[in-house]
Copies of this chain bind each other. A is one copy, B any other.
C-alpha cells in the first residue's frame, strides 16, 4: 500500500504557501521549481487543493495560488485527502457472505468484525493527521531548517514575489 507522490508534493506546497506573506500568490510553475517536481503533475495536485477549498487560484495570466484559509485551520489530513481521496484503505467485499456458511442478508446486522478492525485503524491514522496543521509544519521548518536553507528559501520567495509585483501581478 502506497500513498501517491503527489501527497508529498501537496503537503510541501501547502507549507510553502503558509510562509508567503500578505496573501501573495505563487504560480504553479514556481511551486514546481521550488520543490523540484514536474510542473504538469504538480498542477493537478494544486487543482485538487483548490477543489477542496484549501487553496485558491487567483485568476488571469499573472494568477497563482494561495491558501484559502489560515494555515492554522488546515489540517494535514485535509491536504492528504484532497489529493488521495477519502476512500477507505480497506474495502470489505463481504466474503463472510460467500461460501458454505452464508445465510440470508437479514442475519448480518453488524459490519464484519474484520472490516471494523481495519476501519478503526484507519480512523487512528486519520486522527493523527487531523491533529497536525499546515501551520504546525511551517513552524517546524522554521525551527529545524538550517539558517542557510532558510536564507536561500526566503531569498527565492522574496525575488519571486517582488518580480511578480514589479510587473503588475
A37 to B96, CA, bound (A): 11
> With contacts A102-B152, A124-B127 known, what are 17 further pairs, Cβ within 8 A?
A1-B1, A1-B84, A8-B95, A12-B96, A37-B95, A100-B152, A100-B155, A101-B152, A103-B146, A103-B152, A107-B148, A113-B141, A117-B132, A118-B129, A122-B125, A123-B128, A124-B124
Q: Known interface pairs A2-B91, A124-B127. Does A99 touch B8 (Cβ–Cβ under 8 Å)?
A: no
Q: Which of A28-36, A48-56, A60-68 contacts B (4 or more CB under 8 A)?
A: A28-36
* A78-127 interface with B by 8 A CB criterion: 80, 84, 87, 89-93, 95-96, 98-103, 107-110, 113-115, 117-118, 120-127
A157 to chain B, nearest CB (A): 9
| Interface size, A (range) | 35 or more
Copies of chain A in the complex: 2
Residues of B within 8 A of A34 (CB): 99-101
Q: Known interface pairs A2-B1, A113-B140, A144-B110. Does A103 touch B149 (Cβ–Cβ under 8 Å)?
A: yes
- Specify the main secondary structure of chain A where it touches its partner: helix
A107 to B150, CA, bound (A): 11
Mind listing 8 A-B residue pairs with CB under 8 Å? A5-B93, A12-B114, A33-B99, A80-B118, A100-B156, A102-B152, A113-B141, A121-B129
Residues of B within 8 A of A1 (CB): 1-4, 84, 87, 89
